[in-house]
Amino acid sequence: MKKTIYVLIFSLVVISGFVFSFSTFANSEIKNDTKISSKPLSNLEKRKKWEASPDGIKFNEWKDSPEGKKVQASYEKIKNEINAYAEMEAVVTSVTFQLPTTNPSSPKWLVMKINDEDYMMQFIPEDFQKLNSLKVNDKIIIKSRSAGFSNNHPYLILSSNYIEYNNKVLFERDLSKNDGC
């Protein structure tokens, strides 16, 4: 009688093991299939998807327009200085530039000329207050780490990293506060 009970229990354990193994195998196959289909898009795939979107189409049309080509050409004139994070001499052309439908808490813009080309820098209002002593035609020294194109802006947008006026640093971005951004 004991042998029969042991044989039944042993058989039950073996069968349960097979069922468990099979269900685990089947679940892993399902998970593997899911992983393949939910694979993150590569940068190239993301870019192609964005370029096919209405915003991407609008941007590419602007990029091919005379205005877009002018902005791209202005980048070419200073890209070496941006890559080297070198000083650039600029003349302030506007400290009050605003985009249409701008509210008071919106970013503020400093517009300047570098080698006869117009450029923009964007600031949050509290950072822009550090520049309140600047006036049109003031000569400043700037440094920028990057630049951006936008079909919503008339000029190349420079990162606002460093501004000096009359040998006094008016603004310097503290990269340690933004994880290096």
Q: Chain-wide mean pLDDT for the chain? A: 83
Instruction: Dump pLDDT digits (tens) for 42-96.
Output: 888 888 998 899 999 999 999 999 999 999 999 999 999 999 999 999 999 999 8
Q: How far apart are CA 14 and CA 12, in angstroms?
A: 6
- Give domain limits for the chain: 47-178
Contact call for residues 108 and 123 (beta carbons, < 8 A): yes
pLDDT band at residue 11 using 50, 70 and 90 as cut-offs: low
Top pLDDT among 147 and 21 is at 147
Cα dihedral across residues 77, 83, 88, 92: positive or negative = positive
Least confident of 24-33, 58-67, 92-101, 106-115: 24-33
pTM greater than 0.85: no
pLDDT at 21 over 80: no
What pLDDT score was predicted for residue 22?
Answer: 55
Domain 47-178 - what CATH class?
mainly beta
CA distances from 35 to 21, 23, 32, 45, 49 (A): 21, 18, 5, 17, 20
